[in-house]
């Protein structure tokens, strides 16, 4: 199934022409810094000197984790469903930031542990895509079966292909799932080789005692598979969430469709680690929105060789970092498309 994604590495045929356009705008060479880097990347993704974002959206993938009941997080599991309803009502941080950035929102129920009413604010799309009512407790058994993992990946791909067919060419991913920073820590440890304790953070606000308990529980989870070599896909089945697995398919399909992908924080990047293991060319289509305050995020970024646009100390999730970066991306493209050139404006260039 994983071989069905035909992701082409970026063609650099237009790079010289795009760079020349950037260099001949009325500014010193390279003086817009990362905005120029973004404009070049999006121009290469879209293979045009005049790149544009069309029907840009944030997809928030939600799911519950069996391990949450063991106490890996600070909040009870029912908060996942409560926050999904908040998204649908338009009242969460991601709703506010997406509205400010002119982004559509889709909320995807990948495995929330109860039924969700899809009725909500008319501007928020609800997608029912459950693989189950939460994953199994990975302290005792694999979080999901291989069949569930592959079905979730297929659903994520199908969703993105549908949005792309309707005209969307830029997407950011967010997530919601009590306990999913623990999943992200385990995936990061097994895929990057980073020390497990070093990639475990406080999540949604654990105190010192809670952090120590979380570290102990995750060490126990890791010990359950000790001695077994795990591929990224193996690790996803052992420790993943349905929302993370669905995101893996979404990443791969978005890259296949030559869409711009705006990467959020720690949990979203853990899904990217899996997608990258399946096809490294997915990175060509990714802009990394921000550096999360979760300690494991830096290990992920280092492993992927990625530099985030923003350092705001954010650690909320939901896609809030991605939504915060979209206005900068729009600004980068506007500078490329709308700034006068030296010849047009009658401005002398540097000697």
Q: How big is the chain, counted in residues? A: 351
For tokens 């045009």, name the residue: 48
Q: Do 123 and 217 touch, CB atoms closer than 8 A? A: no
Task: Take residue 208 and report the two structure tokens written for it.
Answer: 């010192």
| Residues taking part in catalysis | 318
Q: What is the 3-state secondary structure (H, E, C) of the chain?
A: CHHHCCCCCCCCCCHHHHHHHHHCECCCCCCCCHHHHHHHHHHHHHCCCCCCCCCCEEEEEEECCHHHHHCCCCCCCCHHHHHHHHHHHCCCHHHHHHHHHCCEEEEEEEECCCCCCCCCCCCEEEEECCCCCCCCCCCCCCCCCHHHHHHHHHHHHHHHHHHHHCCCCEEEEEEECCCHHHHHHHHHHHHHCCCCHHHCCCCCCCCHHHHHHHHHHHHHHHHHCCCCCCCHHHHHHHHCCHHHHHHHHHHHHHHHCCCEEEECCHHHHHHHHHHHHHCHHHHHHEEECECCCCHHHHHHHHHHCCCCCECCCCCCCCCHHHHHHHHHHHHHHHHHHHCCEHHHHCCCCCC
List 260's β-bridge partners, or say none: 170
Query: What tokens appear for 249 in the block?
Result: 């398919």
* Token code pair at residue 331: 């600004």
Token readout for 303 is 């492993």
User: What's the Cα-to-Cα distance from 223 to each of 95, 144, 182, 232, rounded to whole Å?
Assistant: 39, 18, 15, 17
- 157 and 255 in contact (C-beta within 8 Å)? no
């Amino acid at each position: 199934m994983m071989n069905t994604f035909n992701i082409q590495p970026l063609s650099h045929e237009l790079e010289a022409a795009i760079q020349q356009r950037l260099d001949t705008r009325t500014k010193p060479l390279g003086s817009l810094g990362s905005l120029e880097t973004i404009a070049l990347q999006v121009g290469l993704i879209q293979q045009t000197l005049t790149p544009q974002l069309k029907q840009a959206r944030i997809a928030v993938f939600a799911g519950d984790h069996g391990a949450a009941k063991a106490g890996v997080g600070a909040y009870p599991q029912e908060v996942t469903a409560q926050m999904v309803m908040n998204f649908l009502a338009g009242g969460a941080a991601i709703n506010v930031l997406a509205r400010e950035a002119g982004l559509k929102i889709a909320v995807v129920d990948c495995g929330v542990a109860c039924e969700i009413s899809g009725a909500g604010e008319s501007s928020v799309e609800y997608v029912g895509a459950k693989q189950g009512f939460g994953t199994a407790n990975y302290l005792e058994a694999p979080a999901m079966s291989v069949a569930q993992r592959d079905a979730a990946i297929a659903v994520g791909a199908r969703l993105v292909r549908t949005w792309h067919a309707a005209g969307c060419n830029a997407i950011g991913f967010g997530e919601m799932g009590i306990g999913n920073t623990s999943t992200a820590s385990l995936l990061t440890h097994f895929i990057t080789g980073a020390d497990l304790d070093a990639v475990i953070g406080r999540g949604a606000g654990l105190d010192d005692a809670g952090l120590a308990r979380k570290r102990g529980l995750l060490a126990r989870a890791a010990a359950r598979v000790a001695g077994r070599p795990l591929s990224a896909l193996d690790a996803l089945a052992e420790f993943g969430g349905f929302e993370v697995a669905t995101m893996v398919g979404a990443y791969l399909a978005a890259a296949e469709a030559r869409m711009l992908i705006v990467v959020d924080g720690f949990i979203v990047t853990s899904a990217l680690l899996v997608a990258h293991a399946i096809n490294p060319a997915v990175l060509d289509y990714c802009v990394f929105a921000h550096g999360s305050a979760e300690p494991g995020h830096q290990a992920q970024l280092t492993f992927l060789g990625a530099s985030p646009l923003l350092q705001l100390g954010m650690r909320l999730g939901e896609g809030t970092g991605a939504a915060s970066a979209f206005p900068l991306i729009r600004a980068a493209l506007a500078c490329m498309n709308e700034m006068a050139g030296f010849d047009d404006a009658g401005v002398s260039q540097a000697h």
